[in-house]
Structure 1
Amino acid sequence: MNKRHQKILSDVFARPVNGSIKWKDIESLFIALGAEVHEREGSRIAVLLKKQKKIFHRPHPKPTTDKGAVNSIRVWLDSLGIRP
């Protein structure tokens, strides 16, 4: 993981919840962590990381991820033992 990915991971775990993280940066973080990202129907993607699968919705029309999704990502990564 490079410094950019570490910054994104820190942003995901920041309090208060950061609602201005770009979705493409979060997907890049997933891949840097070793995840497989698969396209699903509509705006959904499946992320497989440490043998755990999670479905996420890409935000649209704005490129930024809302606070609820950031919180969900933080809880999931924390449950997998991934922290900044």
Structure 2
Amino acid sequence: MSRKHKRTLELVFKEPVQAGVPWKDVEALLKTLGAEISEGSGSRVRIALNGVRSVFHRTHPRKETDKGALRDMKRFLIAAGVKL
């Protein structure tokens, strides 16, 4: 895992939740972790990692992920067995 991906993972797990993490960085982290990412309808993105599945909304028009989505992403990663 690259330094950038580790930093993104740290930002996802950071408490209190950090605002302003670019969605493209979160997607790159997921791909590095081995997640399967597929497009849904509209801005939906289906993600499967270690047998855990979830649907997220790709951010628009802003590029940054909001706090609620980062909280959900943290829960998803924990459920998939990812640790900081």
- Could you state the TM-score of these two structures normalised by the residue count of structure 2? 0.96
* Long gaps (5+) in structure 1: none
Is 1:54 matched with 2:66?
A: no
* Equivalences, count: 84
Letter in 1 for 2:39: E
Structure 1 partner of 2:29 = 29
Unaligned runs of 5+ in 2: none
Counterpart for residue 75 of structure 1:
75
Partner Cα separation in structure 1 for residue 49 and residue 19 of structure 2: 23
Paired residues of 2:50 and 2:81 also in contact (CA < 8 A): no
Tell me which moved more, 72-81 or 17-26.
Answer: 72-81
List 4+ stretches of structure 1 deviating above 2 A: none
Contact 2:52 2:79 in 1 (8 A): no
TM-score (norm 1): 0.96
